[in-house]
Amino acid sequence: MRSMFMLLLMGMFIASCQKEIDWGVGGATNQLLVKVVAKSGANDSTITTYTYNAQRKLIREVVVALTGGTAVQTELIITRNSAGIITQSVLKSPGLAATGIDSILTRYYLSNNRYASGVFSMDVMGFSFTDSAVYTYDANERIISDQHLLKSSFFPLPIPIPILKNVYTYSADGKNLMKQEQSAPSTPGGPLAPVSTQTYTFDTKTNPLLLLNEAIILTRPDWFNANNVLTNQFASVADPTQNFTLDNTYRYNAANKPDSLFSIRGGQLTTSKFFYQ
């Protein structure tokens, strides 16, 4: 997660040619995930579409959701250089536009051939906000933490203040993200304290969207994993009533990638269908 402030802002089709899409349980190993359609309850649905460049690198994600009769849409545009490195991302949504924010532009900076930081700035109601994420790596070049610092004219503090820290724990073979621990201050400028923990288990099949460290900087940790999440246990230190367990059951195609998914959280069933081309 980019920051608590960004999450609050976020709270507020690609109908391209679909030839050669696998609509069933077949599928070649080299096909890319292009769409996921999820349905929950009688009327709620989410359609997520993905676009790639000529090098088969992800460059766009569009999410169109209908929840409780309310339509929500977000678009993430990813810019890469000639080497495939992400240089910036742009988040757009009608919800942001309604608050006077056209988009959120995040720029990424490299050091020693790896992502060192990500920075986005915006003005809201006459106040400036700049969020800087600094990434820390282990000896195997995996991101093991990101700390977010906020500088804003809204707070009478001369230096950036810590507002969020994520700590990531990986499996012994380094292929899957097993735990994400989050800390935040209870008051602006205060010390970081544990907020929540998410722990995961995995199947042994192929994750259809694998981005490794890019998944962390794009705040899409599920995209890091080589395999697919079977369970996600969320524990909130701040509010235990928010605790939940998500259980996933998959049906796989011939390429050992998900063809369909059945997710249960709090007795609510969500079914998802995966499309490749």
* Cα separation, 124 vs 112, whole angstroms: 34
Question: What amino acid occupies position 203?
Answer: D
| Averaged pLDDT for residues 130-136 | 95
Question: What amino acid occupies position 32?
Answer: L
Task: Give 28's pLDDT tier (boundaries 50, 70, 90).
Answer: low
| Averaged pLDDT for residues 113-131 | 88
What b/e sequence results for 103-135 when a residue is b if at least 16 CB atoms lie within 10 Å of its CB, and e otherwise?
Answer: ebbbebeeeeeebebbbbebeeeeeebebbbeb
| Averaged pLDDT for residues 119-147 | 91
Query: What residues does 211 pair with on adjacent strands?
Result: none
| Residue-level length of the chain | 277
- Chain-wide mean pLDDT for the chain? 88
> Which pLDDT score is estimated for 22?
37
Q: What is the three-class DSSP state of 224?
A: helix
51: tokens are: 């676009």
Q: What is the three-class DSSP state of 247?
A: strand
Model confidence at 272: pLDDT above 90: yes
pLDDT tens profile 57-109: 999 999 999 998 899 999 999 999 999 999 999 999 998 888 888 899 999 99
Question: How many helices and strands, by DSSP H and E, does the chain display?
Answer: 3, 16
Helix, strand, coil percentages (3-state) for the chain, rounded to 5, are 10, 55, 35
Give how far Cα 11 sits from Cα of 75, 174, 190, 200, Å: 14, 32, 24, 24
> Which pLDDT score is estimated for 122?
82
With 0.75 as the threshold, say if the pTM is over it.
Answer: yes
In this structure, how many other beta carbons lie within 10 angstroms of the beta carbon of residue 208? 23
Query: What residues does 165 pair with on adjacent strands?
Result: 147, 183
Q: Among all chains, which residue has been given the structure tokens 């960004």?
A: 6
90: tokens are: 């742009």
> Which pLDDT score is estimated for 20?
35
> Which pLDDT score is estimated for 8?
36
Model confidence at 12: pLDDT above 50: no
- Torsion angle of the four alpha carbons 91, 179, 34, 55, in this order, in degrees rounded to the nearest 10: 80
Give how far Cα 202 sits from Cα of 161, 166, 170, Å: 36, 21, 12
pLDDT tens profile 172-183: 999 999 999 999
* Cα separation, 244 vs 54, whole angstroms: 40
Task: Give 158's pLDDT tier (boundaries 50, 70, 90).
Answer: low
* Cα separation, 187 vs 167, whole angstroms: 20
| Averaged pLDDT for residues 241-247 | 97
Query: What residues does 71 pair with on adjacent strands?
Result: 66
Model confidence at 266: pLDDT above 50: yes
Report which of residues 17 and 30 the model is more confident about. Answer: 30
> Which pLDDT score is estimated for 34?
98
With respect to CATH, is domain 4-276 assigned 2.102.10.10? no
| Averaged pLDDT for residues 249-253 | 98
First to last CA, the chain: 29
| Averaged pLDDT for residues 219-239 | 96
